[in-house]
Amino acid sequence: MAAGRGGTGRGFVIEADGGSRGNPGPAGYGAVVRDAASGEVLRETAEFIGVATNNVAEYRGLIAGLRAAHELDPHASVHVRMDSKLVVEQMSGRWKIKHPDMRPLAAEAQRVFPPGSVTGYEWIPRAENKHADRLANEAMDAGRRGEQWSAAASTAELEAADERARAQARSETSGAALPRTAVSGRVREPAPAEPSAAADPVVPAPAAPAGDDAAETSAPQSGWGPDLGPPTTFVLLRHGETRLTPEKRFSGSGGTDPELSAAGWQQAHAAAELMAARGTLQGIVTSPMRRCRQTASAVAERTGLEVHVDEGLREADFGAWEGLTFAEVRERHPEDLERWLESTEVRPTGGGESFATVAERVAVARDRLLKQWAGRTVLLVTHVTPVKTFVRLALEAPPAALFRMELSAACLSVIAYYADGNASVRLLNDTSHLR
């Protein structure tokens, strides 16, 4: 199943993705065929496939992309790019395929082109696979409406290009370079990695992704694979309480920017004591908001580390909901709240930021910080939404996962990012230092 020599016809690059809203749940796939030399999109394909797992949808996307390329030129040389580590490793022959649902799909993908025509399978970060991801989501949206995906109605290519342009503009403003997505090349920024200062664990090399075929390597080695060097570890500290926290009021970046309460200062000092005792921190980065800067200052005082401010770590802007409780928002803006709960693309009443917008901002900040703090352990003092977003992105969980996490004031979470692009959530919502 490993890559071969290449065909005798044209050169294509296939970008494929699949997703499931529930895993298993309503699922769909998307795939793009590009000209390897110019990057021009030659074919798009997507389909809603009913209830399936993420891995099944990803394989179905691969098969559809290969078939689309074969229809264009059955003698082509094909290079496949996907953000599914599982599919890439299994199709490259480095991981065994044990799950019964995966074997026939992998065999079907292998039969599309003659041996040697597929020159390689390449893992890419999700941010570089936006076009296929958009197609998969369009297919799932169509399925929810009882329809099938339509190429004529698709806006995936335009949206992916627009998102890339906006991300590039943000990176140029911040001075951080985005990874290049040269279609015929392999140029990418090193992927993330993360250790845990709070739990002080032994940091293993990255494990294979969880799912239908988790950790199925053909030749298991110590720590699941070769030594990738020290991971980059983000220790995520939610700020201490403010006067709004116990009342469970919306408190984002569009409100009054409250300071820590007396209880919040106690929580900040407790976190600082733990960080000083562990002695593993090598840097502190904080949201610009007052409650975070105060929490970070407590840790800096105990550890002697300098505090850096990053705008990307600020809380979401909750618009007209700032300062209100959930019940008050439901009473005053019931329809807006219902739409907001149904989709992370929806903004709060009166403007503010959607969770999708926050995710884009946090992803840019993550990539920038990974580059700045490569191989080190850094404390990020931030808010509920950014912490949940870091965790969701690391797990490659669907956007709805944001509504299924609970984070207490001054809690600690830890993510380790490894050089091959794998991320490992090591700790979530730990409050043992507050007891």
- Summarised one tens digit per residue, pLDDT across range 117-173 is 999 999 998 888 999 999 999 999 998 888 889 888 888 887 777 666 555 555 555
Give the burial string for 331-368 (b: 16+ CB within 10 Å, else e).
eebeebbeebeeebeebbbeebbbbeebbbbbbbbbbb
- Check the CA dihedral 243-246-249-253 and report its sign: positive
pLDDT for 168: 58
CA distance 182 to 166: 18
CA distance 232 to 191: 10
Q: Which of 367, 401, 389 is nearest to 20 (CA)?
A: 401
Low-confidence ranges of the chain (pLDDT < 70): 1-8, 162-228
CA distance 419 to 375: 9
Tokens of 347: 């903004």
Residue carrying structure tokens 């369009």: 138
pLDDT for 145: 87
CA distance 208 to 97: 13
**Under DSSP, is residue 378 helix (H, G, I), strand (E, B) or coil?**
strand
CA distance 63 to 277: 52
Strand partners, 25: 52
pLDDT tens-place string over residues 270-320: 999 999 988 889 999 999 999 999 999 999 999 999 999 999 999 999 999
**Under DSSP, is residue 41 helix (H, G, I), strand (E, B) or coil?**
strand
- Give all strands (DSSP E) within 127-231, no chain letters: 193-194
pLDDT for 181: 37
CA distance 80 to 127: 16
pLDDT for 5: 52
pLDDT for 99: 82
If you compute the radius of gyration of the chain from its CA atoms, what whole number of angstroms results?
23
Q: Which residues are catalytic?
A: 239, 315
pTM, full prediction:
0.51
Residue carrying structure tokens 């090349």: 185
